[in-house]
Structures are given as structure tokens and as C-alpha cells.
Amino acid sequence: MQAKAAAVQKKQSPAYNNAFASKFAKSMFLSVLGLAILTFIGTRMFTHVDLNLYGYMVGTIVFIGGFFYRFIAWGERPPTKIIIKKGIKLIFRKSTPKTSVEHLGTYNFIWNRGIYRWTQHVLIGWGCILSCLVTFPLVFGWMYFTMDENGYYNIIALGMQIMTVRADGIIANLSYNALNITAVMVISGVCMALYRRVKNFQAKAEQKFIYDLMPLYMLLFVSITGLLLTFMNIFLHGAGQPVMSMIHQWSVIMTLIYLPFGKLAHIPFRPMSVLARNYREHYTEKEAKQCKVCGAGFVSVEQSQDVIHVLDVNDIHFKTIEGHHLAEMCLPCRRKYRIAQFSGFPTHEVKVKEANQNAKG
């Protein structure tokens, strides 16, 4: 019966789907194809490729491909599908701009952990983001500069001249030193993070070299070698620059390849937190679902149904002997129910509130 249903479904699916092993494979192929088309357009049919940046281009393509691979794999999970699907529907909430600024701009969610950690995250986060916003357009030929004989620079974006600035002006100097500024930001933030991980006992107990420390060392190495290039160019008149340029390029390429698969991936993943926040806030405003045991409201009806749906998809069933689902019970009653399974006494039916029942965190 199941084989027959699968055959019918296969016949009803579009013909191009049969060319792919799975939906995941199709999504990955379309993502890579889209990236290739953008690269083709950005470089104007590959006629404007800076060979000095060729290595960075290859590393960036691998990074974006790896990021899409991980994002698609993450997005295929049942809980993530719900957050993305319903979060996108709620993207036009009035609170979305405020939430976006707090989560992606000012990092207010870290402010509560202390000004030291907030400063550390702002320096690393914005240092990396601004570096990418400068590097990627240059690498893919979407933006470049030309110089006139009169001492003015032309800023070209996607083949269009958008601005002309003095070669010794403020805008030009900020453009020259943009990556130097971001490198100083990253170095400052990484040093703060490393100092905290050395002094904070909780961080020392939980951290792992490969997952927690190596990404920081990679960022530090990339930033220092980038600043050394500027130092050699200005103070050493270019002595040793070719060797340092190769070292810096390889450090950037290795960091880009590693980024989608390590701890640093949470930087490009961060926008998804806006969808999760919208989902949580929206359904918090809805009618609360009453606990099947004590009758207290704890989450919205739809949130409870989403949890049950995700568990069913993963073939996990938490049915109690009373006939209701464990997700239909509030946290205190859920804890009491688990105790009851060991003690044999129905503690979850005792109408006594826990001392910390309404505690947060």
C-alpha cells in the first residue's frame, strides 16, 4: 500500500524533481547555480576579475557554498521548518524593525550578560560583518575604483559610476583603511574574548580548543597579517609584502572554508533569530493552552501543537497513561510526572505549586 502511494506521488511530482536524489540535493544545486549566475553578472561575464583577488574569490565561493549546504541541512529539520515558515509569515509585524535592530545591530540580548561581553561581541560581530561587506564586492568585481589624472577616484559599482571623490579626501581614506579599521575591531574583540576565557572559571571548564578557541585564533591571525601588509607597505616600502600577502591570503581562505562548519557560523545565521523572536512573541499573545493536569496556562495552543507535530514527525510519542500528550502539561506538572514514573506515586496530580514555579531562566 505504501509502495503504491509512493509511486502515485512520484508520478504527480514535476519531471525535473526526478533528476535529483532528494529535495536537499535540489536545493543545494539551485543555490550553487544561483551563486554562479551572480558571479557571472558581477564580473560582467568574467571580464573584470582581479587576479590578485582570485584566491579570495575561490575561498568565498567555497564559503558561500558551505554556508548554503549547512543552512539547507539545518532548514530541513522539522523544528526549523516551522520557525522559518511561520517566522516569514510574521515578518511584517510592527515589532520586526525593533527586533532586527536589537538582534542584528545593537546586540541588546547580550547587554544583559554584562557590558564587557557586549563590547566583545559588538567588536567581533561588526568587525567581521563590515570586513565581508568590503571584501565580497571587491572579490566578485561588483565594486572597484579607477583614478583620474586630476587626483580623483571614481567608485564603480556593478559597472556604474556612483561617486567621484578626492584621492586624499575623508571618504577615500576611509575606503583605503576600511579593512584596517575592521581588523583593529576584531583584534580588540578577540583579545577580550581570550582574556575572559582565561580568567572565567565557567568558560575554562566548558570550552574546547577546536570549537571555542581555534576560531578566535584564526580571526586573530587573519587580522594581524592584514595589518602587517599595511605596515610593510607604509613603513618598509613594500619589503616582504609578497610573502606576507600569500600568508594573509591563505589564512583568509582557510578561515572562510572553516567558517560555515564551526562556531563562527552563528554570525551569518544570526538573522534567523528575528524569525524565532517573532514566532515566540506572536504566539505568546494568543490564547494560552491550559495544562491538562493543573489547568494553568503555559504556552499558546499552536505552540503546543507544533511541539507535538515535530515529535510525531520524528516518531517520538510522549503519551501519558491518562491519554494526553506530555507537551500538553506545564513544566512543573511535567517534572512531577517524571518523578511519578520512578516513585509510583502520582505526584503530578498533587495540587501544590513549586516554590520556583514562576521563576525565569
Q: What is the domain extent for residue 197?
A: 20-73+113-264
Indicate if 293 and 259 belong to the same structural domain.
no
User: Is residue 211 domain-resident?
Assistant: yes
User: Is residue 144 domain-resident?
Assistant: yes
Indicate if 178 and 228 belong to the same structural domain.
yes
Exposure of 328 by Cβ count < 10 A (0-12 exposed, 13-18 middle, 19+ buried)? buried
For residue range 77-117, list pLDDT tens digits in order.
888 888 888 888 888 888 888 888 888 888 888 888 889 98
The string of DSSP codes covering 66-127 is: HHHHHHHHHHTSHHHHHHHHHHHHTTT-TTHHHHHIIIIIS-HHHHTT-HHHHHHHHHHHHH
Contact criterion met (CB below 8 Å) for 98 and 278: no
Indicate if 241 and 127 belong to the same structural domain.
yes
pTM: 0.75
For residue range 202-219, list pLDDT tens digits in order.
777 778 888 888 899 999
- Cα distances (angstroms) measured from residue 309 to each of 77, 126, 190: 12, 38, 41
User: Is residue 212 domain-resident?
Assistant: yes
User: Is residue 11 domain-resident?
Assistant: no
Indicate if 291 and 329 belong to the same structural domain.
yes
Contact criterion met (CB below 8 Å) for 298 and 331: yes
Indicate if 240 and 337 belong to the same structural domain.
no
Per-residue pLDDT of the chain (361 residues; tens, 9 = 90+): 444 444 444 445 566 667 777 777 777 788 778 877 877 777 777 777 777 777 888 888 888 888 888 888 888 888 888 888 888 888 888 888 888 888 888 888 888 888 998 999 999 989 999 998 888 888 877 777 777 777 788 887 776 778 888 877 788 788 888 889 999 999 999 999 998 888 877 777 778 888 888 899 999 999 999 999 889 888 888 788 888 888 988 999 899 888 888 888 888 888 888 888 888 888 777 777 778 777 777 777 777 788 878 887 777 777 777 777 777 888 788 777 777 777 766 666 666 665 545 544 3
Indicate if 326 and 199 belong to the same structural domain.
no
What total of structural domains would you count in the chain?
A: 2
Indicate if 256 and 299 belong to the same structural domain.
no
Indicate if 294 and 245 belong to the same structural domain.
no
